[in-house]
Amino acid sequence: MSLTAIEFNNVSKRYSQSGEYVVDHVSLDINEGEFITILGSSGSGKTTLLKMINRLYEPSEGTIKLFGEDIATVDPVKVRRRIGYVIQQVGLFPHMTIAQNIAIVPKLLKWPQTQINERVDELLHLVGLERQAFKNRYPNQLSGGQQQRIGLARALAIDPKIMLLDEPFGAIDAINRLYLQDELKRIHGGLKKTFLLVTHDINEAFKLGTRVIIMNKGNLCQFDTPRNIVKKPADDFVSSLIHSSRKQERFWEGFD
């Protein structure tokens, strides 16, 4: 039986006492090993939901538990060091080599240098980059897609059980985006970690997610498998998302 990796219990977030809820009383459970995608338009609350997991944002109400532990009782730095985090801008340090960028957190944790070197080589192989060709390069010598792979490798460095990915492919061109989606799915399948990925792209959400969270105006509209969502949309907003995606597909039929 799978463990519950992440538990939201009546979680809300607002930025002032009088303001509207950015996340409005969300409750859900995520099992260990799932690949969860969080889908919604701008302002839907999807990124806020993600950032409360690693305490970059604190909930206004409710509790969040990781493997049964209330994260409000744990030092935020310790919470973040247990979780991998990948963002769209990557955030590689330009003055450090690729190997040094990947090794940042292991160095902070005072891993032996031999262990760090082995982990860097292992992760470069995992994300599909040849270690001798890339470990001594600098970020400005890499393409956007290669930099995003290094960001993923850095997030995986200390072998976290949970990975948070905030629109990691948003700045990547369409061809490389599809390729990186396939690579991310492959990596998740080999690691059996719990992945949560925020996206505004319905095709990306349904392609990658074992289950999909659909957010709108701070509310959780539906949380289910892609197949079940398509077969039985929970409300008009979910129906409109599916309809818009199918309408885009029909556009291409005119070129056959």
pLDDT the model gives residue 187:
87
pLDDT of res. 245? 83
Q: Is residue 5 a part of any domain in this protein?
A: no
Half-sphere exposure at residue 79, Cβ-oriented, CA atoms within 13 angstroms = 22
Contact 229, 242 (CB under 8 A): yes
Whether 73 is covered by a domain: the verdict is: no
Diameter of the chain measured on Cα atoms: 60
pLDDT at 256: 67
Q: How many CB atoms lie within 10 A of CB 52?
A: 24
CA distance 197 to 50: 8
Buried b (16+ CB within 10 A) or exposed e, 71-98: beeeeeeebbebbbbbbbebebeeeebb
What range does the domain containing 147 cover?
Answer: 36-48+85-250
Cross-strand bridge partners of residue 212: 37, 224
Strands 211-216 and 219-224 turn out to be antiparallel
Total tally of structural domains belonging to the chain = 1
Residue 190 sits in a domain whose CATH number is: 3.40.50.300
Give 9-33 pLDDT, tens digit per residue. 999 999 877 678 999 999 999 999 9
What six digits make up the tokens of 153?
A: 């490798």
Whether residue 64 contacts residue 35, with contact meaning beta carbons closer than 8 Å, is answered with no
Residue 15 lies in a domain: no
For residue 153, tell me if it sits in a domain.
yes
* Burial letters 106-134, b for 16+ CB under 10 A, else e: beeeebeeeebbebbeebbebbebebeeb
- DSSP E strand boundaries for the chain: 4-13, 23-31, 35-39, 61-66, 69-70, 83-87, 162-166, 194-199, 211-216, 219-224
Closest CA to 14 of 56, 57, 51, 54: 57
Query: CA 127, CA 114: separation in Å to the nearest integer?
Result: 20
Q: Tell me whether residue 59 is in a domain.
A: no
Residues lower than pLDDT 70 in the chain: 1, 18, 256
pLDDT of 50: 96
The confidence score (pLDDT) of residue 1 equals: 60
In a domain, 25, yes or no: no
Q: How many residues does the chain have?
A: 256
Inside any domain, residue 221:
yes
Is 29 within a domain? no
